[in-house]
Amino acid sequence: MSNKPLHRIDLNLLVIFQILLQERSVTLAAKWLSISPSAVSKALAKLRIWFDDPLFIRSPQGLIPTPLSLSIEDSLSDFINISHHIANKRNTEVPVGLKFNLVLETPLHQVMLPSLPQQILSHYPKSTLQIKNWEYNSPF
C-alpha cells in the first residue's frame, strides 16, 4: 500500500468502516448510520479500492475482518474519536475589553434599562457599559 494523501478520501467512509468493524454486518451498520445497506456496500467497495484489500470476508456469522482491518481498528477508532472532539469544539472564551455604548430615548430607557445592562454584563463580565439618554436635540 503506497502513501495516499488524506485529502483524497471521503472521511465519511472511515466512519462507515469503523461501524462495520463494530457491527460486523452491512445491515446493522446501515441501521446504526440511518442509511441504506446499499450505501454501506458502496462505501465498502470504495474502501476496498482505497486500501487495496477486501477488508472483510463474508461468512454465515457476518463479516470477518481481514488482518489489515484488524491492524488499523484501534488507530481508526482513535482517529474517529479525535475527529469528533475537534468537530464539536466550541469557542468558550469570553471577549475581554468590549465596550458597549448605548444611547436610548427616554421611553426605551424605561422599558429596556432594567434588564439590558444585567444581560450584557452576565454574558460579557469584563466589558464596560455606557448608557446615555438620547433626546431630539442630542449631538449623538
State residue 140's pLDDT score.
60
State residue 61's pLDDT score.
93
**Per residue in 81-99, is it b (16+ CB within 10 Å) or e — as a string?**
eeeeeeeeeeeeeeeeeee
For residues 14 and 79, the answer to whether their CB atoms sit within 8 Å is yes
Is 17 found in the same domain as 81?
Answer: yes
pLDDT-based confidence at residue 44 (cuts at 50, 70, 90): very high
Domain coverage including residue 124: 99-134
pLDDT one-digit tens code per residue, 55-91: 999 999 999 999 999 999 999 999 999 998 888 887 7
pLDDT one-digit tens code per residue, 101-128: 877 777 666 666 667 778 888 888 888 8
Is 15 found in the same domain as 41?
Answer: yes
Structural domains in the chain (count): 2
